Chain A
């Protein structure tokens, strides 16, 4: 193993530091702040707030599915509006915003040893445009006709026709405008994250010394910058179809006996554009989770992450491959069937780097010194749920197996497990892990353990059995399953059970929210580095870190992020900014 960055070699500073913008008033410090840490909290709070709306919507749809006919106010229109808004909020406005806008903003500058993002003003604008996008989305609940009920995939032609809630009212227009705003806001933030990782690292922080959290967020951001434009143009084109009567996605159509004016458009073109964005989007959510969970496991098992270089290359390989698999969402869309051979092959190839990541996580546990802290519990639960959800992806990715399972509850169970439960469990683990840095206090342990067990086991009990409903043939996006010939009586009971579990898991999140707020004042004092971690964010002079992060002198990095339990060292961790060699260096070059 050639070590190209020996522990003591640190390149000299080439560029003088630029003075940061210093806030003068309460407004510029806490509201229109240019500090990435404040922006991160603004992003996270907004995402959590809108996420709560999505949680309530999921309860409403589970009420309908579990106890059909009991709740009259859940009309078919309302049901479709609930599922659409639930999906859209969770994927875009919660997961994407929280991982990149929330964790990205907080962790990138701190972890790479920068004082802030490189373009703080644009970073601030990014948040405010995101907030505007959320407000436009929320406004559709109050618009005439209500929000769109087109499904989160917004497939035309139905998305802009009268048979769909919001199709000929304001709903779909507000949805498209909100997405366009979101993408504009995200692009401003995303450019910041990428440039900060590439240009803002402190001395000695080579790319191969970055914590995997940064690698995950960085790669996800590059992907998002490449993928979101496809959604952007799809939204603009559909907006034109709806508002100006163009026919990008609209062929000749007879709607309820009446010939529409559209002609010659291609509904399937929208699906290609949507999934060219939509599949990378899965990994835009997953890669930050991969990165974060690697750091949680390493820190709390007191052991270096196993196969760091392989982990980095796996992240990059998954990011690249994820642009070549989009049409596996379209095996039964009516596209040319020969595409199936290509996309099934690329899709199953992606399983290899993903499996390598899983192996390296569990091999990090091997001969570790495992502290079962709450962040560690969530990291372990992530592996279980992600492996489960990832493996069912091998069903759906294998084109012919997808044919009977596509558009059934199997798909719903699969993607909730793999990109709902698994990443959200990582978010929880990450919050328990970094909350002490953000607030200076620990989250309550008892409430945390309660939250963990109910969330992990409850979510597993919701989504594991749901696969079997799909195998039975129960279609997704049905508000009414009562006269379904294939469904046995017991299958309806299973549906009620799933609904009850959904309520229990949902209430556990209220406990978590209470813990978040209560611990700000009443939590145990954390100190600067409660987990005895190596990465730079734990080495700041103040906790919470002040504006500028690192006081007078930026830290200098002498080693990789995973020097845990180094033989011969006094303690079982050596922070990245501690110089000196402890026996022969085994840091991978």
Chain B
């Protein structure tokens, strides 16, 4: 009796917690509300299954609890029931999987007009690189990393000379423009994660990974590292500012290119 009641309370409590508690996702600031919708579908389907199974159990415990002289039924199998349950489950799973795969297809298909931004992770800071006027990023190599060339841009590649280098500072992005984040690390695994954008991806030394999104709200967002990268992992914060087009261009105008940064005699006076 008490057991059945507690199980009912577990279901009721969980449902109430879900709807009434203040803990929910942070407001979205990218185009990936598709992902949020898929999560909602999943919550509904799984929530109904959870409630149904546990409430059925509670009913059985109440109805078929041991009493003096009661005897259980003897029913080893029931092919029809088992087949039905299998089919219904398969349908439920399909209802989850199909929308999920459609959205995944969108997630991995970068639109042709996406601009490229490179993110470089290292213990324990974020740096960024944007293509210059030629629209191309110069090639890079971890072996070229040095104090003067912290991002390892290949000095001989002409495409890299006009690349905008943002070392250990904030990244700015224009609102409403799709952007492909190229992700690179020079030491260990990291993961570029902004909760409001919903997207994330690991960065692997020796490879370039990517994801894409369109920022939909202006504002300041905190970048977190989402892959354990040593003891400084929780301190590896960064900032992404999503600007209006004018603000973005103003910021871009203040940044230095790889060629400017590689000419130390001109900027040495700041020391």
Contacts and interface: CB of A to CB of B under 8 A. Distances in A.
A and B found bound together:
yes
A401 B100 contact: yes
Contact of B89 (A351, A383, A562): A351
Given A383-B53, A572-B71, A586-B76, A494 B23 contact: yes
Interface string B98-116: 0011011101100000000
Nearest to A267: B204
B96 A348 contact: yes
A100 B231 CA distance: 35
Contacts of B77: 1, 306-310, 588
Interface string B64-84: 111000111111111001100
A38 B230 CA distance: 42
Given A77-B231, A366-B64, A403 B39 contact: no
Chain B contact surface mostly: mixed
B189 A304 contact: no
A125 B93 CA distance: 45
B199 interface: yes
A359 interface: yes
A530 interface: no
B222 interface: yes
A50 interface: no
A256 interface: yes
Contacts of B45: 394
Interface size class of A (residues with CB under 8 A): 35 or more
A523 interface: no
Interface size class of B (residues with CB under 8 A): 35 or more
Given A341-B101, A369-B64, A149 B231 contact: yes
A304 B75 contact: yes
A456 B264 CA distance: 65
A365 B4 CA distance: 13
Contacts of A255: 123, 187
Interface in A153-169: 155, 157-158, 161, 163-165, 167
Interface stretch (B153-161, B169-177, B205-213, B244-252): B205-213
Contacts of A565: 71-74
A460 interface: yes
Contacts of B228: 80, 150-151, 155, 158, 477
A483 B239 CA distance: 13
User: Top 9 closest A-B pairs, CB basis?
Assistant: A473-B195, A251-B206, A163-B230, A334-B209, A391-B46, A303-B72, A337-B108, A158-B188, A365-B60
Interface of A: 1, 76-77, 80, 149-151, 155, 157-158, 161, 163-165, 167, 251-257, 259, 264-268, 301-304, 306-310, 332-334, 337-338, 340-341, 344-345, 348-349, 351-352, 355-356, 358-360, 362-363, 365-372, 377, 380, 383-384, 387-388, 391-392, 394-395, 398-401, 403-404, 406-408, 457, 460, 464-465, 468-469, 471-473, 475, 477-481, 483-486, 488, 490-491, 494, 562, 564-567, 572, 586-588
Interface of B: 3, 6-7, 10, 14, 17, 21-26, 32, 34-35, 38-39, 42, 45-46, 49-50, 53-54, 56-57, 60-61, 64-66, 70-78, 81-82, 85-86, 89-90, 93, 96-97, 100-101, 103-105, 107-108, 122-124, 141-143, 145, 147, 152, 183, 186-189, 191, 193, 195-196, 198-207, 209, 221-222, 224-235, 237
30 contacts: A155-B227, A158-B188, A163-B124, A164-B230, A251-B142, A252-B206, A259-B145, A268-B204, A304-B75, A334-B202, A351-B89, A355-B89, A358-B53, A365-B57, A371-B66, A372-B61, A380-B57, A383-B57, A384-B7, A398-B97, A398-B100, A400-B38, A404-B32, A472-B25, A477-B228, A484-B222, A488-B22, A490-B22, A565-B71, A586-B76
